[in-house]
Amino acid sequence: MRGKHDSATRRRGSAAHAGVSAGVEHVNYLKLKKEELQKRTIEIFEKPLINVTESSYYNTLLEKPLETQGQQANNVMNDIELQQYLFDLQGYLVIENVLSPEELATLNRLIDQQELPTPGKVQRFGSAPDGSGFLEWGKPFCELLTHQKIMPILRFRLGDCFRLDRIYGMYMREGMPKGHLHADYGATSSTSGAQPGEYYPFRDNQVTNGFVVVTWVLSDTGPDYGGFCCIPGSHKSNFKLPQQINQSPEDAPCVIIPSAPAGSVILFTEALTHGTAAWRGKHERRSLLYKYCVSHMVWTSRRVQLPANVELTPRQEILFSDPGDPHRFFPSLFEGFESEQVA
């Protein structure tokens, strides 16, 4: 809406050269007087860029806003709009305090009970496919599949229909070496010579992104310890990763190890150039990775199997479906599951 000041400016015939056509105001900012320019600048910065509550897209995503608004004002990372912006900007997102200390202790205890071999060359545990991997180790692992904190974020990335493509845990002991930086889509991917696909297109105000990894952090990771590392923003890069960064990522300022205390979740797109930094922590690294993709995409021809000993919810079971065209051959994870979408 035009303000009082705009019409007054026009009436005076000042140098503002403001005009309105089809509801859009045209202003030649170069010709505005200093005070007028200052006032407009302040107005622009005070106005929210997107009014989330009025956005119909947002309203279709959530029946009620997340438990965020007001109630959790001090936990800004619960704001879905902020999460959306940062995930798109960086290609990854860390949300702290998603797991309670009790949930964390339970998951770690269940892993301890497995008496896994000491991590060495192999840094992975509980992988699937084949089989069900660590999902068979108990219900708490299955509850993470459709955790209410991650589902709205996955919906932004993957739409209403997505599947669980693969899972594995990662564990590391002090002194274990780094892994190579890589991206599964885009210029840096090993298949970049193939027919170009669309790996991170942004169209019609929606991100369509095929693969998202959800990493549940069960012990502190970050710059002091090692663990997940990445090049923020690299999911949008048009150029292949230069050799010198690939060879010594630890010397490249663009490679970061995001800080993620135990109980956090790290979400990242597989189009992001990412990897595993050498582990320097005195404690064991423990993370659980759940990899989701849009329903019509697959990484491998094998499937994660339903765990035989844990009863899943109908919504969780959808994640194990064979690939299929969204909605036509693959059901929505949100329609009919509204009660599971908010706390």
Ligand X SMILES: O=C(O)CCC(=O)C(=O)O
Please work out the total of residues on this chain that contact ligand X, with binding judged by CB under 6 A. Answer: 10
CA atoms of 330 and 319, how far apart (whole Å): 10
> Per CB under 6 A, does 289 bind ligand X?
yes
- Lookup: tokens for 303: 């499937």
Q: Which stretch binds ligand X (CB under 6 A): 102-110, 268-276, 295-303, 333-341?
A: 268-276
Q: Which is nearer to ligand X, 78 or 90 (CB)?
A: 90
CA proximity to 319, closest of 336, 308, 331: 331
Residues 163-222 that bind ligand X (CB under 6 A): 170, 213, 215
Q: Which of 185, 228, 292, 330 binds ligand X (CB under 6 A)?
A: 228
Q: Which is nearer to ligand X, 287 or 295 (CB)?
A: 287
Cβ 291 to ligand X, closest distance in Å? 7
CA atoms of 241 and 234, how far apart (whole Å): 9
Cβ 155 to ligand X, closest distance in Å? 21
Residues 18-37 that bind ligand X (CB under 6 A): none
Cβ 141 to ligand X, closest distance in Å? 17
3-state DSSP assignment of residue 68:
coil
**Residue 232: is the preceding peptide bond cis (ω within 30°)?**
no
How many Cα atoms sit within 13 Å of 251 on the Cβ side? Answer: 6
Q: Which is nearer to ligand X, 218 or 333 (CB)?
A: 218
Q: Which stretch binds ligand X (CB under 6 A): 9-17, 66-74, 127-135, 269-277?
A: 269-277
Q: Are the beta carbons of 221 and 260 closer than 8 angstroms?
A: yes
Q: Which is nearer to ligand X, 249 or 331 (CB)?
A: 249
Using Cβ positions, the residue closest to ligand X within the complex turns out to be 276
CA atoms of 305 and 30, how far apart (whole Å): 63
CA atoms of 272 and 182, how far apart (whole Å): 8
> Per CB under 6 A, does 315 bind ligand X?
no
Q: DSSP for 274-296?
A: EEEEPP--SSPEEEEEEEEEETT
CA atoms of 75 and 318, how far apart (whole Å): 31
> Per CB under 6 A, does 125 bind ligand X?
no
Q: Which stretch binds ligand X (CB under 6 A): 25-33, 270-278, 309-317, 327-335?
A: 270-278
Distance in angstroms between the alpha carbons of the first and the last residue of the chain? 37
The contact set with ligand X (CB under 6 A) reads 170, 213, 215, 227-228, 274-276, 287, 289
